[in-house]
Amino acid sequence: MRSRQLIRDMIVHYLGNPILNELDDGACLSFVEKDLVFTTDSFVVRPLFFPGGDIGKLAVCGTVNDLAMMGAKPRYLSLGLILEEGLLLADLERVVRSMRAALKAANVKIVTGDTKVVERGMGFGMFVNTAGIGVRFPNADTRVVNARAGDAVIVTGTLGDHGAAVIACREGINLESRLVSDVAPLWNLVGPLLRKNVDIHCLRDPTRGGLAAALNDIAESSLVGIRLVENKIPVRKEVRGICRVLGLDPLNMACEGRAVVVCPGKNAAAVVKMLRSRPLGRNAEVIGQVVKQPKNMVILETEIGGERIVETPMGEDLPRIC
């Protein structure tokens, strides 16, 4: 119980707000809006701390971004911690402080939580679950079923930074220049598009399985094809380097602060301009288009003029990158 008290105090100390501080069995929330979005994600990343972030920032941004991709303004999060005995309190504090910063950046609150401590020796340190409630924008329908031939495919920034940074950190790969995870809350980037009623067909964050998984999901759900132009796809040279060393494909690498935006081709330039006006979107690019045929497929026009099929990664995921 003493440890529970300590944790409670640490969490209330750093993450407290009038709703959370009630510390009751649940949080009482009032909404004037009728249409909500509800989502959840568990985070098992290893190591707990990596260049550009940690499991706490990831747990806040991951759930905030799932809400944002559904066209919902993130409002409230729950926090479920599973801590391993022996976890350093200093590490827990560092994670909780990082959460606090991410919550502030995303303008959301943790309003209810639960902490379990399990016996030492499993070697995971901590797992984090967040669930989230957001308020859906009127008329926002950004589901993966809405892509149509003629749409443009846009990414809001460089791809694979998160996956590459975590793997490099875990494998002890030294980089000349500093590569950091892209983990960031996306609502401030995509919210303005929805607020201004820009016609957006799909939003998806390319997390597990990277761009390849996200685009195949869109192609299959919308019964369309997608053609990509390789030399338009923004990938940092450090990410390319790590992928080359480890035999990985940058298109399969997870991002935690990037979105795929599908919109009518005629709006693409305006959308890219809006995205680039914010720091998080300054590397936004049109990387391809939605086509009628071949359906359910993603085709990459390579830099050397060939074509290849981009498949959903079928082997095991890169382990524990989120």
Contact positions toward its own copies, by CB under 8 A?
1-4, 22, 24-32, 34-44, 66-67, 69-70, 72, 76, 78-82, 111-114, 116, 118-119, 122-124, 127, 129, 131-134, 136, 143-144, 204-205, 209, 312-317, 319-320
**Shortest separation between residue 183's beta carbon and its own copies, angstroms:** 16
Beta carbon nearer to its own copies, 179 or 212: 212
CA distances (Å), origin 109, targets 7, 113, 178, 256, 319: 18, 11, 31, 20, 29
φ, ψ (nearest 5 deg) of residue 204? -155, 135
Nearer to its own copies among residue 66 and residue 151 (C-beta): 66
**Shortest reach from residue 123's CB to its own copies, in Å:** 6
**Cβ 103 to its own copies, closest distance in Å?**
15
Nearer to its own copies, 176 or 316 (CB): 316
CA 270-73-60 angle, 5° bins: 110
Strand-strand pairing, 307-309 and 151-155: unpaired
Tokens of 162: 């998160």
Least distance between its own copies and beta carbon 73 (Å): 12
Is the separation of the CB atoms in 301 and 174 below 8 Å?
no
| Closest CB to its own copies among residues 203, 226 | 203
| Least gap, CB of 273 to its own copies (angstroms) | 26
Q: Name the residue nearer to its own copies (CB basis): 79 or 226.
A: 79
Distance of closest approach, residue 65 Cβ to its own copies, in angstroms: 8
Residues in the chain: 322
Q: How far is CA 48 from the centre of its chain?
A: 17
Whole-angstrom distance, CA of residue 127 vs CA of residue 129: 7
CA-wise closest residue to 260 among 321, 199, 183, 205:
205
Q: Please state, in angstroms and rounded to a whole number, the distance separating the CA atoms of residues 100 and 73.
A: 18
Least spacing, CB of residue 178 vs its own copies, in Å: 28
Query: Which tokens in the block code for residue 21?
Result: 């501080």
Q: Which is nearer to its own copies, 44 or 175 (CB)?
A: 44
Query: What are the E-state strand segments in 178-284?
Result: 202-204, 225-229, 260-264
Residue 118 or 245: which CB sits closer to its own copies?
A: 118
